[in-house]
Amino acid sequence: MGEPTIGSKTILLVDDDIVVLNALTIVLQASGHKVLKAFSGGEIPAIARQQQVDLIFLDLVFPPDSENFGSPLHNGLFVVEWLNRTSETQNIPVAIISSTEPAKYQKQALKAGVIGCLQKPLNKDEVLGIIEKKFGKTS
């Protein structure tokens, strides 16, 4: 696996699918980035308080759980709006990853400040392209 380099970024992956988290972790670590993982949007502020997060890849839809049943935190676009109002996270760029066709939510996502929208299954070059577009070439 690639070790973090001087130009590496700390990237938080937020998805309820462990396969997606693991696949993205492999791609990002091989490119020299540090990867943090969360299974729901509600975990983001706590992680952001403990770590310097440079970028978030956020799923669009999360299944309900026993603690947050009916919570708006199951909607990735609501999570983005919430992050924009939270002091620990308001300056962290967010890219959406979803199995939903981006055309269905992209206008609303970009209005909320999302820097990119990717459709699953994810393409390695598109994922790394989001990072390069935001930060320039990092490795």
pLDDT tens-digit map of 72-109: 456 888 889 989 998 889 999 999 999 988 888 999 99
Q: Is the pTM of this model over 0.75?
A: yes
| pLDDT tens-digit map of 15-72 | 999 999 999 999 999 999 999 999 988 888 899 889 999 999 999 987 765 555 455 4
For the chain, where are the E strands, in sequence order? 10-14, 34-38, 55-59, 94-98, 116-119
The predicted pLDDT at position 102 comes to 86
Say what the pLDDT of residue 45 is.
86
**Domain segments of the chain as ranges:** 10-135
- Spatial distance between the Cα atoms of 13 and 35, rounded to a whole number of angstroms: 7
Q: How far apart are CA 49 and CA 2, in angstroms?
A: 25
Architecture of the domain whose range is 10-135 = 3-Layer(aba) Sandwich (3.40)
